């Protein structure tokens, strides 16, 4: 039985092509009892290999194929180009195997290698290997320094190198490989002879890269991608087709080929290979801590006895939370502590609470998420703020006796401070005890196309266009997507010329591409952490385990998820703005009541743009229907908006029962208790547990195990059998079947109530902030962008809430969005109608006035910050903020020292308007007055003056102050009636050296039109600040009779209407029918319009939906609640094209376009993915943001005649 000792899997990044499990299974098929995994540069696949071996009865060997640093190879001297070539196959490599019990040594050596080389280019030296040589064995193969010397026929040199290795490392073997390359068997024989003459054992390997012979083509592509070279024979390894996992018989052929038919010699070679393999076999149980009984977990050290410490902390917590007299709380606590102590996890809870305390002490907002919210212990020791007893949350969902593995405690922190939290944890526990978890990024359609395109030498911009045309699908779906998706069918990508590239790209499907920091996982271990896992450096220099989150759990390391949540940052920012502007201290977690009806009133109207979790079109529709009034309603709402409940059709029955349109239905009186809170409908995981427990009497821990089993097809079969067997006789057939249907539909997709409860809190908090401190809330949302909508939508929402949007102003803008007090909303004269958007003001409704969204944020303004200017640097922002106030453009230029393009952009969007009292587009401008264009010209003059050297070193020297020349006040009378601007005359004489620079006559250039100003805003700030962009199309839209968002409620159900707006969101979520449904939201300045495109219309709509920014759509009105409307789309057009037609051909041409019957191009193809419970899913659903236009195109409308193209 031949043991393969040199095997690279796909975890040898961009080198190997098959996964550890596949290799192990193949080895088992070949009846091999030992298999090694020796990935390049790391142990990324080692745990998966040991697991697969343990499952199939193959004995595992683990090693790492490491690059050797050659003596003259100092990273400090090597240039970038040299570094690149080192990624190729030029470098020397040795394979280091862990001998029995040597796992820790291999981990430590791997860690050391990663810290010795450049990041991502680990290197070892002979000395470094020698330091860890105790538990290791070194194989010197054809790529080692010894092997290369032999190939070059430098026999003496080879002998000397081999002697040096033997002196450094006690256990050295020579590795002989023959992959049928030219002269390769000859070299292999000379390696063998060298080993024999030196008395070193020689082993035979096949330096495996692939599972099957044909896989070498993938290998070729990976080589090209890794070395950044074109796919060309010159760059490829010869004979790669033999680097597959050969059978024992094939390896015998190799052995006899090397030995020239000398059977004894060949037999000897194989026998020694076998001996070496036996020495290196690892015990899987030593590595897979969770497979031991009892499980071995590597907990952090805590001072003292963790058990009594945790008990004390909980006791204190009972007092602190006012629960010391509660019988329920004491019983629950006892039950939880019983399990925690039985599993010896007390230390874990103490460590985690220490970390959350520390995070809060740093002033960082921190909330618990996930199933951990179901534990009373977590509440008592202040890991989380959710009281599980309030919401009937079960601990079993988080921690149960029957559950293997470790409980996950997940906490959310402010996204902007996540890395600070990591640093603090590192500092407290020390580098040797803490590491971040990693994750493998794998090839998907876009990344595969990028790498293969580059390997095939396509121009980079073409690759970019092609890759972006695809949605986020798997690489293997590329060619089927081209025929299935209407928007790709017409794209011309199906061209023959690209066929080969797509074919190759598909081969990369799912292969690991690079390693990255996991977004939240942190390992907190003890001093032995680095004996369990190799640690490398992440991009940001954090210590990062080479294991992913499944692996770390398997090896018994404790993981804490610290997830950065942008909404937490947004809320923290809002609180700091409230403090700064209104001097109010708000304790969001403890000082805000959870039953504020004004907040719920706002939520019920669907006015939730910007709020956590409930801002998507679907959620806005759902909250409007559900009308939440309590925290519990919000928990239900969040849980309902998941594939599981949607799939098993729970939303409608729940809503009907909630609103009393239907009697709640309980399948059996005994289930009433568990289903009462949701009117007889199963919404939560916790209810599944209770139903299972109630109907079988199996206990909640067992019920949790059953629920977990439902996730896989095999598990489902098992559970069904178990269910039929265990249901108590008192339940009749029908009840049993009905209950099963619910469990089945629910199992894989449902939602944990604890998780929803943890989410509901920030959801409510964000809504509360929006309702009571709208301006500060929007400032936070705009600054940290937590949601799904682009900032211009949030800005429009702010405007509709009565918050004034204030333009960029060099004297008032800050680093981030700032709230300013006392700005009445400047109403546009055209907008006198009292009806608010979204039909908030239903005529005759008594509460409407109270609820008017205009009132929410009145009296405050939001100031566009410097940081939103395109291309501005961090340092420029710093200088601009520090240098305020400025007295003139020249002063700004002098002291803030912006680059010329940035200065021009700031002028273009009106950043210095206030200094000069400019009103572009307004009625005040007359020829002869100063304009933004004049100021732009002045920027040019300033730039030329400062670069011409007439005033040496001025821009960096503060000494330049006053010179005789023209006062800046020449440029128009300052602040003529614009209120609040500083007059310029009184300013200190900080001027441009007009004596040397050109003179610019004011008013020479006409002022920008309003349209040009908005166009500049969109281009530079990415949002329309002064005016909504759709307003420029009003004339056309009125002519074709477009209905505005705020008029939608007056439309009758079923009416066919036209709508228009800026596309602000597109989603393709998984839906019940298994279709790919496209949900699109348009914004037309009076509110959002939600459109649904079903597959039947995507044939003619998809390209426009994904490809345009301004859109006109035809749809059928569908009333979805008392105050919400959505549209079923029938057709859509690009507004820019309609506009063009209107300008060139008049209304006739527009009507022709709108009336044209679309050619039927077929819907969306592709086979539905079927689940065991009948749930169907489109292969193109729910794969992240769809492709297409998300930003304004360069040209939005026709430039008006006379506008200067020179700017």
Partner 1 sequence: MSRIYGDPIEVWTRDAEPARFVWRDRLYVVRRVLDHWVTSREWWRVSENDPGERRFWRVEASPGGQTGSYELRFDTASGGWLLLRAWD
Residues lying near partner 1 in the complex (CB under 8 A) are found at: 180-186, 213-214, 216-217, 220, 231-233, 236, 238-242, 257, 456, 500, 503-504
The nearer residue to partner 1, 250 or 464, going by C-beta atoms, is: 250
Find all residues with CB under 8 Å of 433, minimum gap 6, and list them: 300, 524, 525, 526, 527, 529
- 180 versus 665: smaller Cβ distance to partner 1: 180
Question: Closest approach of Cβ 1113 to partner 1, in Å?
Answer: 43
Closest to partner 1 by CB, 183 or 1052: 183
> Considering the complex, what minimum distance in angstroms separates the CB of residue 480 from partner 1?
16
Residue 272 CB, nearest approach to partner 1 (Å): 25
Minimum gap (Å) between residue 181 Cβ and partner 1: 6
CB of 247 to partner 1, least distance (A): 15
Q: How far apart are CA 996 and CA 946, in angstroms?
A: 10
Q: Give the residue ranges of DSSP H helices in 526-614.
A: 529-532, 549-554, 566-582, 597-604
Q: CB of residue 231 vs partner 1: minimum separation in angstroms?
A: 6
Q: What value, to the nearest 5°, has the Cα angle with vertex 33 and ends 27 and 39?
A: 55
Q: What is the rounded distance in angstroms from the CA atom of residue 99 to the CA atom of residue 97? A: 6
Cβ 507 to partner 1 shortest distance, Å: 10
H helix intervals, 415-548:
418-429, 445-455, 460-469, 478-484, 486-489, 496-507, 529-532
Q: In whole angstroms, how close is the CB of 555 to partner 1 at the nearest point?
A: 39
Residue 1142: how many CA atoms within 13 Å on its side-chain side? Answer: 17
Q: What is the distance, to the nearest Å, from the Cα of residue 420 to the centroid of all Cα atoms in its chain?
A: 19
**To the nearest whole angstrom, how small is the minimum distance from the Cβ of residue 500 to partner 1?**
6
Nearer to partner 1, 235 or 1128 (CB): 235
Q: Which tokens go with 353?
A: 């609470």
Kindly report the CA angle at 878 between 877 and 881, in degrees rounded to 5?
80
63 within 8 A of 105, measured Cβ to Cβ: no
Q: 214 or 843, CB closer to partner 1?
A: 214
Provide the angle, in degrees to the nearest 10, between the axes of the packed helices 597-604 and 617-626. 120
Q: Which ranges of 207-344 does DSSP label H, i.e. alpha helix?
A: 216-227, 248-258, 263-279, 284-287, 306-320, 327-342
Q: Tell me how far, at minimum, the Cβ of 269 lies from partner 1, in Å.
A: 19
Q: How many residues does the chain have?
A: 1207
Kindly tell me which of 211 and 377 has the beta carbon lying closer to partner 1: 211
Shortest Cβ 216–partner 1 spacing (Å):
7
> Cα–Cα distance between 980 and 969 in angstroms, integer?
17
Residue with Cβ nearer partner 1 (257 or 321): 257
Tokens encoding 817: 């969005």
Contact 1057, 1043 (CB under 8 A): yes
Identify each DSSP E strand in 716-858 by its residue range.
Answer: 804-806, 818-823
Nearest-angstrom CA–CA distance, 1207 and 1200:
14
Closest to partner 1 by CB, 233 or 844: 233
Q: What distance lies between CA 1059 and its chain's CA centroid? A: 33
Between CA 870 and CA 556 the distance in angstroms is 47
Instruction: Decide whether 257 or 1119 has the Cβ nearer to partner 1.
Output: 257
**Rounded Cα–Cα distance for residues 212 and 474 (Å):** 22
Q: Kindly state the smallest distance separating residue 478's Cβ from partner 1, in Å.
A: 15
- Closer CB to partner 1, residue 38 or residue 185? 185
Q: Which is nearer to partner 1, 161 or 188 (CB)?
A: 188
Task: Measure Cα distances from 256 to 33, 182, 272 in Å.
Answer: 22, 17, 15
Q: 805 with 621: CB under 8 angstroms?
A: no
CA–CA separation, 1039 and 1070 (whole Å): 38
Look at residue 1193 and give its three-state secondary structure: coil
Q: CA 33: distance to chain centroid?
A: 41
Nearer to partner 1, 231 or 840 (CB): 231
Least Cβ distance, residue 488 to partner 1 (angstroms): 22
- Toward partner 1, which CB reaches closer, 483 or 1073? 483
Is the Cβ–Cβ distance between 1163 and 1099 less than 8 Å? Answer: yes
Q: Which is nearer to partner 1, 233 or 1205 (CB)?
A: 233
- Taking the complex as a whole, the smallest distance from the CB of residue 249 to partner 1 amounts, in Å, to 13
> Under DSSP, is residue 315 helix (H, G, I), strand (E, B) or coil?
helix
- The residue (of 212 and 401) whose beta carbon lies closer to partner 1 is 212
Q: Kindly state the smallest distance separating residue 98's Cβ from partner 1, in Å.
A: 33
Nearer to partner 1, 185 or 946 (CB): 185
DSSP three-state, residue 442: strand
Least distance between partner 1 and beta carbon 459 (Å): 18
The Cα 1044–Cα 1042 span in angstroms is 6
Report the alpha-carbon angle 1049-1053-1057, nearest 5: 75
Q: How far is the CB of 241 from partner 1 (least distance, A)?
A: 6
Give least dist CB 214 to partner 1, A: 6
Query: Which lies closer to partner 1 via its Cβ, residue 257 or residue 884?
Result: 257
**Quick one: 66 or 151, whose CB is closer to partner 1?**
151
Q: Could you give the residue ranges of the DSSP H alpha helices within 1034-1176? A: 1034-1039, 1095-1107, 1135-1155
Start-end of H helices in 801-885: 848-851, 853-856, 874-882
Query: Residue 617's closest CA among 1203, 210, 124, 1081?
Result: 1081
């Amino acid at each position: 039985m031949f043991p393969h000792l040199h095997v690279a899997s796909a975890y040898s990044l961009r080198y190997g092509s098959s996964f550890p499990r596949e290799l192990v299974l193949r080895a088992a098929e070949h009846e091999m009892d030992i298999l090694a995994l020796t990935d390049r540069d790391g142990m990324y696949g080692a745990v998966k290999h040991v697991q697969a071996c343990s499952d199939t009865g193959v004995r595992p060997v683990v090693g790492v194929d490491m690059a050797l640093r050659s003596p003259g190879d100092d990273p400090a001297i090597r240039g970038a180009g040299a570094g690149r070539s080192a990624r190729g196959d030029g470098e020397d490599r040795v394979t280091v195997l862990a001998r029995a019990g040597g796992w820790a040594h291999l981990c430590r050596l791997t860690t050391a290698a990663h810290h010795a080389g450049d990041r991502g280019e680990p290197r070892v030296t002979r000395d470094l290997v020698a330091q860890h040589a105790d538990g290791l064995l070194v194989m010197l193969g054809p790529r080692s320094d010894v092997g290369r010397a032999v190939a070059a026929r430098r026999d003496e040199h080879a002998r000397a190198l081999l002697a040096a290795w033997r002196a450094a490392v006690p256990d050295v073997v020579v590795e002989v490989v023959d992959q049928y390359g030219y002269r390769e068997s000859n070299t292999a024989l000379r390696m063998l002879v060298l080993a024999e003459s030196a008395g070193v054992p020689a082993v035979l390997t096949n330096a495996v890269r692939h599972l099957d012979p044909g896989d070498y083509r993938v290998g070729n592509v990976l080589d090209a991608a890794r070395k950044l070279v074109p796919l060309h024979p010159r760059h490829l390894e010869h004979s790669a087709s033999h680097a597959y996992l050969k059978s024992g018989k094939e390896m015998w052929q190799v052995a006899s080929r090397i030995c020239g038919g000398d059977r004894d010699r060949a037999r000897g070679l194989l026998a020694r290979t076998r001996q070496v393999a036996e020495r290196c076999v690892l015990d899987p149980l030593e590595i897979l801590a969770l497979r031991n009984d009892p499980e071995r977990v590597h907990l952090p050290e805590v001072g003292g006895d963790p058990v009594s410490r945790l008990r004390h902390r909980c006791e204190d917590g009972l007092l602190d939370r006012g629960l010391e007299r509660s019988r329920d709380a004491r019983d629950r606590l006892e039950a939880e502590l019983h399990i925690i102590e039985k599993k010896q996890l007390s230390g874990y809870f103490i460590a985690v609470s220490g970390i959350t305390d520390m995070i809060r002490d740093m002033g960082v907002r921190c909330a618990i998420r996930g199933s951990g919210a179901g534990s009373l212990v977590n509440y008592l020791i202040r890991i989380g703020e959710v009281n599980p007893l309030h919401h009937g949350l079960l601990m079993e969902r988080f921690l149960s006796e029957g559950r293997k593995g470790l409980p996950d405690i997940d906490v959310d922190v402010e996204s902007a401070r996540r890395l600070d939290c990591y640093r603090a944890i590192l500092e407290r526990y020390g580098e040797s005890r803490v590491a971040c978890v990693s994750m493998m990024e794998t090839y998907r359609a876009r990344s595969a196309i990028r790498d293969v395109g580059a390997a095939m030498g396509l121009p980079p911009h073409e690759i970019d266009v092609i890759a972006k045309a695809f949605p986020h699908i798997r690489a293997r779906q590329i060619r089927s997507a081209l025929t299935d998706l209407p928007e790709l069918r017409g794209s011309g990508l199906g061209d023959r010329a690209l066929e080969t590239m797509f074919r190759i790209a598909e081969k990369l499907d799912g292969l690991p591409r690079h390693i990255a920091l996991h977004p939240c996982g942190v390992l907190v271990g003890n001093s032995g952490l680095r004996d369990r896992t190799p640690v490398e450096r992440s991009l940001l220099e954090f210590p990062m385990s080479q294991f992913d989150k499944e692996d770390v759990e398997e090896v018994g390391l404790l993981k804490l998820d610290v997830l950065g949540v942008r909404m937490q940052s947004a809320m923290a920012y809002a609180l700091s703005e409230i403090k700064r502007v209104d001097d109010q201290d708000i304790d969001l977690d403890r000082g805000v009541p959870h039953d504020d009806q004004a907040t719920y009133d706002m939520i019920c109207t669907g006015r939730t743009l910007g709020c956590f979790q409930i801002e998507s079109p679907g959620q806005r529709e759902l909250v409007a229907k559900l009308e939440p009034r309590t925290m519990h309603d919000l928990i239900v709402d969040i849980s309902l908006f998941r594939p599981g409940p949607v799939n098993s059709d729970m939303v409608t029955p729940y809503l009907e029962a909630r609103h009393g349109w239907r009697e709640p239905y309980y399948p059996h009186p005994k289930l009433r208790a568990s289903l009462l809170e949701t009117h007889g409908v199963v919404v939560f995981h916790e209810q599944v547990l209770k139903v299972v427990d109630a109907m079988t009497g199996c206990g909640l821990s067992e019920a949790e195990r059953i629920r977990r089993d439902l996730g896989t097809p095999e598990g489902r079969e098992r559970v069904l059998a178990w269910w039929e067997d265990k249901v108590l006789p008192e339940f009749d057939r029908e009840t049993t079947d009905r209950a099963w249907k619910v469990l089945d539909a629910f199992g894989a997709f449902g939602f944990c109530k604890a998780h929803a409860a943890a989410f509901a809190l920030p959801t409510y908090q964000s809504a509360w902030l929006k309702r009571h401190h709208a301006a500060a809330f929007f400032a936070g949302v705009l600054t940290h962008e937590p949601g799904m909508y682009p900032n211009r939508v949030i800005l429009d929402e702010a405007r509709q809430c009565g918050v004034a949007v204030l333009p960029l102003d060099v004297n008032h803008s800050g680093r981030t969005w700032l709230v300013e007090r006392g700005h009445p909303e400047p109403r546009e004269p055209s907008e006198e109608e009292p009806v608010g958007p979204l039909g908030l003001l239903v005529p005759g409704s008594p509460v409407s006035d109270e609820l008017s969204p205009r009132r929410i944020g009145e009296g405050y303004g939001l100031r566009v910050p410097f940081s939103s200017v395109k291309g501005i640097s961090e340092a420029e922002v710093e200088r601009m903020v520090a240098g305020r106030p400025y007295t003139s453009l020249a002063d700004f230029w002098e002291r803030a020292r912006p680059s010329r393009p940035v200065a021009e952009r700031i002028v273009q969007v009106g950043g210095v308007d206030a200094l000069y009292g400019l009103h572009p587009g307004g009625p005040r401008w007359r020829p002869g007055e100063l304009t933004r264009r004049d100021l732009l010209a002045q920027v040019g003059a300033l730039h030329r003056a400062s670069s011409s050297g007439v005033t040496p070193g001025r821009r960096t020297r503060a000494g330049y102050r006053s010179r005789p020349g023209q006062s800046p006040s020449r440029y128009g009378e300052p602040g003529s009636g614009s209120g609040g601007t500083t007059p310029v005359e009184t300013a200190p004489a900080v001027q441009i050296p007009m004596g040397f620079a050109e003179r610019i006559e004011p008013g020479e250039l006409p002022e920008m039109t309003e349209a040009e100003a908005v166009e500049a805003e969109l281009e530079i700030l990415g949002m329309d600040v002064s005016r909504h962009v759709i307003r420029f199309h009003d004339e056309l839209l009125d002519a074709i009779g477009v209905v505005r968002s705020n008029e939608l409620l007056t439309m009758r159900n079923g009416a066919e209407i036209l709508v228009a707006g800026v596309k602000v969101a597109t989603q393709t979520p998984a839906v019940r029918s298994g279709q790919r449904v496209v949900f699109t939201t348009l914004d037309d300045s009076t509110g959002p319009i939600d459109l649904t495109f079903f597959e039947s219309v995507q044939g003619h709509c998809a390209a426009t939906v994904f490809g345009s920014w301004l859109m006109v759509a035809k749809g059928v009105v569908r009333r979805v609640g008392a105050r919400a409307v959505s549209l079923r789309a029938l057709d859509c057009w690009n507004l820019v094209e309609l506009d063009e037609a209107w300008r060139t051909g008049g209304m006739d041409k527009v009507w022709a376009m709108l009336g044209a019957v679309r050619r039927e191009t077929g819907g969306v193809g592709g086979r539905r993915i079927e689940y065991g419970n009948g749930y169907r899913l489109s292969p193109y659903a729910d794969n992240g943001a769809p492709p297409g236009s998300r930003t304004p195109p360069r040209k939005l409308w026709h430039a008006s005649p006379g506008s200067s193209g020179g700017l």
